[in-house]
């Protein structure tokens, strides 16, 4: 089964939406194979968002993702990468449809968009390695 890396971002933790977001993945039938709270430091943030370093919002993105802890999860299931991205909704919460996580829990991208989800198999592998040791991902 396919695996994807999900982060409930600092705004999700600060706004106490962790349980509601995890519920959605469980209700969908996806399996949580790894989960922990991580306070991302600047070095890790730069690695995770390496591909966005030329963007004008990069410095704000580093500040945002390091401002409070995140919940990191390895989520598993059929076509998990695509399914979880669909559940997250569009990057900008203004464009995210109701029923999606960003559509339901966020409004202004400058205040955050609640969640990160891997966008490809390659990035899912890279991001899982960045956040989890092999023995922190459980096969059951």
Q: Which two tokens stand for residue 34?
A: 């790894």
Neighbours of 42 (CB within 10 A): 11
Residue 61 near which of ligand IDP, Mg ion, none (CB within 5-8 Å, type-dependent): ligand IDP
Q: How wide is the angle at C-alpha 47 spanned by C-alphas 64 and 130, nearest 5°? A: 105
Distance (Å, whole) CA 62 – CA 40 = 9
Min separation Cβ 119 and Mg ion, Å: 5
Query: For ligand IDP, which stretch binds (CB under 6 A), given 20-28, 37-45, 72-80, 112-120?
Result: 112-120
> In terms of CB distance, is 90 or 119 closer to Mg ion?
119
Q: Which residues are catalytic?
A: 116
Residues in contact with ligand IDP by CB under 6 A are 52, 57, 61, 91, 109, 113, 116, 119
């Amino acid at each position: 089964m396919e695996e994807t890396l999900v982060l409930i971002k600092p705004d999700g933790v600060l706004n106490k939406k962790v349980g509601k977001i995890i519920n959605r993945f469980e209700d969908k039938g996806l399996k949580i194979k790894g989960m922990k709270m991580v306070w991302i430091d600047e070095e890790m943030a730069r690695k995770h968002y390496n591909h966005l370093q030329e963007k004008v919002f990069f410095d704000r993105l580093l500040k945002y993702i390091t401002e409070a802890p995140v919940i990191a999860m390895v989520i598993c299931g059929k076509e998990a990468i695509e399914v979880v991205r669909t559940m997250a909704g569009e990057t900008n919460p203004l464009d995210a449809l109701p029923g999606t996580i960003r559509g339901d829990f966020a409004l202004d991208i400058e205040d955050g968009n609640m969640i990160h989800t891997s966008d490809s198999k390659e990035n899912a592998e890279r991001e899982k390695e960045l956040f989890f040791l092999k023995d922190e991902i459980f096969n059951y």
